[in-house]
Amino acid sequence: MKRVRCPKCNSYITFDETKYKAGQTLVFQCTECSKQFGIRLGSSPTRETQKNEHIRLKAEEEEASRKYGSIVVVENVFHFKQILSLQLGENKIGRYVQGTSINQPIETVDPSIDTLHCVIQVKQDKNGKLQYILRDGPSGTGTFYMNSILGNNERVTLQDGDIITIGATTLIMRCAEEN
């Protein structure tokens, strides 16, 4: 089973690719928004089923979290939990909007989170120990570290378990496991 994404609403449609030949054009109608669109088999890659993709992505996230740490995102209004695996360099955190250039998107409907709200820089010191440095994006509603708002040029070094609040969403810092 393969799946394709509707170009209008981003919902997935699953189909059995074994019933069709490479190069054949298929036309789909989205059940969510009624958009009609076509694909050509063999000319563009199809995605794995959502269950298989979820299992693979979860394993990749766990590996990355062990290596560089992660942020646990708890959306306070709906109690929806996400885990963002951090990477070396700048981790630009903000609200997911299609086409943005952030590398750590939060899937939320919270309008008080900007598309680029804050940045967590992950770097190694001279001894090879990871450091986590937080700064505001700058954002419209501000970034709060342990209930104190960060100034425009203020930087804070994060420790495991530190609380960051952006909009109506809480982020919990999880540092990488020490070897």
- Dump pLDDT digits (tens) for 143-170: 999 999 999 889 999 999 999 999 889 9
**Smallest Cα–Cα separation from 65: which of 156, 130, 140, 157?**
130
Mean pLDDT of the chain: 85
Q: Quick check: is 128 in a domain?
A: yes
Write the CA distances from 149 to 74, 110, 136, 177, integer angstroms.
19, 19, 9, 28
Structure tokens at 90: 């700048």
The mean per-residue pLDDT over the stretch 100-117 comes to 88
**Same structural domain, 113 and 169:** yes
Spatial neighbors of 75 by CB under 8 A, at least 6 apart, are 81, 82, 106, 108, 110, 168, 169
**Smallest Cα–Cα separation from 82: which of 66, 61, 97?**
61
Q: Does the pLDDT value for residue 59 go beyond 50?
A: yes
**Same structural domain, 73 and 156:** yes
- Domain holding 31, by residue range, is 2-40
> Given pLDDT bands bounded at 50, 70 and 90, which one contains residue 93?
very high
β pairing state of 130-136 and 118-124: antiparallel
**Same structural domain, 29 and 82:** no
Q: Determine which of 60-64, 65-69, 98-102 has the lowest per-residue pLDDT on average.
A: 60-64
Q: Does the pLDDT value for residue 53 go beyond 80?
A: no
Q: Does the pLDDT value for residue 98 go beyond 50?
A: yes
> For position 141, what pLDDT does the model report?
92
Question: Number of structural domains, the chain?
Answer: 2
* Amino acid at site 22: A
Share of the chain above pLDDT 90, in %: 40
Question: Rounded to an integer, what distance in angstroms lies between the CA atom of residue 39 and that of residue 165?
Answer: 42
* Amino acid at site 152: N
Spatial neighbors of 131 by CB under 8 A, at least 6 apart, are 122, 123, 124, 125, 157
Question: Rounded to an integer, what distance in angstroms lies between the CA atom of residue 89 and that of residue 111?
Answer: 27
Q: Does the pLDDT value for residue 142 go beyond 60?
A: yes
> Given pLDDT bands bounded at 50, 70 and 90, which one contains residue 44?
very low
| pTM for the predicted model, two decimal places | 0.63
**Same structural domain, 144 and 96:** yes
The mean per-residue pLDDT over the stretch 101-120 comes to 89
